Structure 1
């Protein structure tokens, strides 16, 4: 364990290099423009070099840096296409890969959590990790009863590392914000940091997973692997085979894309009503499309606890906007503090701001695309636009922050998939207040 402080220093040093690297590339770019290269050529090269450095560093780190990179990765669809290409491959790598911890370290964690005879619980155990996440890695094994299992083991020192990473990353929020037009990175960092304590407790994660298992038992569309055993820093679940959504995004068929998008939306809308929880980490590495067409759902460390389901006012306000009932929309938004007391705001402009965002629920079917997300990001993210000015006058109550972030992340994945599905029908079935 003595190497943890040294690794923390190295992580901080790596993160600290990022702004210096960007500054250096900006100087290099100026020199190349003066030497006769076009601004477009220089910008393309700078984008590629920035992506390579930024995500090489994030990809080498665990903890908060990787978690933040994964959170940003679902917003890749909002990047302008001329800038997106250099980032896309590096972003995708963050969704499922991280350097493994040594087998001896992993064995020590299992000794502490399950006792030194932990191998007796398994018929076999693979020391080579099958996957890695921000605060732990997954090993494949066979449980004593013959079931194939996934063993998620937390990295030693993950807690202090997470907090240190978030403290460091917050200093560079402006730099990271360049990747996602319209995304305010500081609240995203703050919200992710606030969930650290919960995610470090694998017992809590296992309990959340059990709630999902119960809610979706024998479901024809969604499958959640059963928890076999758990401890504060280890979770053992049934192994789930399938095609990761990152692969479907990269090269899936239209049928796979549509099916995955529809089931992601079904999970998002139905989970609060069925499980009292919302899966709050919607990056593609956490989902699999199974051979039988079901959606496999993994990693329940980050959840939103909604024991009463999704708040009814969200569905009601959505329906009122789509119905064009201006007075009722403003009244409802004021009652829920989306419009703060004393704020004088043009009702028609509020409708103009909201209606395009809700377009996916306006028609029987909708196709999410990167182009649509880029349009929305530019519309509400450019301070010169009227929509951006209206957006700054609106308020997001704290109790809606996590739900808002998860919804944006889910939409980002749907746009990466480019899926077409009956999203309005799903909302009518599961979103309280949406259907009269």
Structure 2
């Protein structure tokens, strides 16, 4: 990866794109330090440390925003409204025929879908900004709480959060057009990386106590994280290659086909999306607890206790949901029947498998096995930090998800740079 970056830096066109991407990331990080008016950041930080450090929805939003959410800055909502809008529109694409037709119309249809996604993200941003304002008001972090000043402050706070979310989407689009990699993914990557130094400092502070147990624990955490990075890289690069053979056909004096190729199926093809789906679902009960305080000893109180991230039920249900959402997400991406029909129309087939329905059944069988392996991989990455946290009492419950996002974005960016360098060389040969 370092060699890829070095080679890309030597190419003038790619160097300009890399510098532009870094410039946008700097703007994004600076925007994350701009405070929103009429808020007491000290009171908000104190409340967040007490209430939102237990794996709830706010902790998830804080991970996506790179720590801006807990500080209530201009970019507190960050990429979360756009990610939620993408998930919703993607699900509706398979439920609503008009959206499905747009998806099949090629680049023009995808442009319209992207515009619809942006409008949906704006609506979600307004709702999240309003909900966040109510939460801060309950936490005593709002300066004005009565009269006209309260109404004006509410409008300003919601407008600032919504504008910050819209600015994040615009910055991501600029990276897509003039930079390297996927814009939203790069901003998400930058936000998580920015929290790295504080996490390292926290580990060093933990070692300063001088206790041998703490020193061994910190070393164990570092070793586990290094092994986890290697495991994620291995699984991200792993794929199953299904051999494809095209029949020979003669047209006039020319012969077409007769070549052998393969269909690559990634083991971790769904990326981090199943974890985000499951995390959003599992965080709902603990998030509701912030708005509706249950009576001690009541059924609702015991029910919410099961959804605390240190409870064994939480880890088991979280693992099962990740597997289920992984199958659901893969089923939306791959259609074995469509692949089988395309192969038959192009005189292609899998050696030893009859074309048509048998090919479709074979692809379903292979896809089911690969999806299970990928789902178990995601589940292990997600719940291992939770188990480690419950044993050591150190809050690294979001660590696995953060590492998965960082490694996935880094690998995807490296592949993008390699493909652009290859295209540049091919263009030079043609000229």
Range class of TM-score, shorter chain: under 0.3
TM-score of the two chains, using structure 2 as the length reference: 0.23
Question: Greater share of strand residues, 1 or 2?
Answer: 1
TM-score of the two chains, using structure 1 as the length reference: 0.23
Bigger CA radius of gyration: 2
Q: Answer 1 or 2: higher relative contact order, Cα 8 Å, separation at least 6.
A: 2
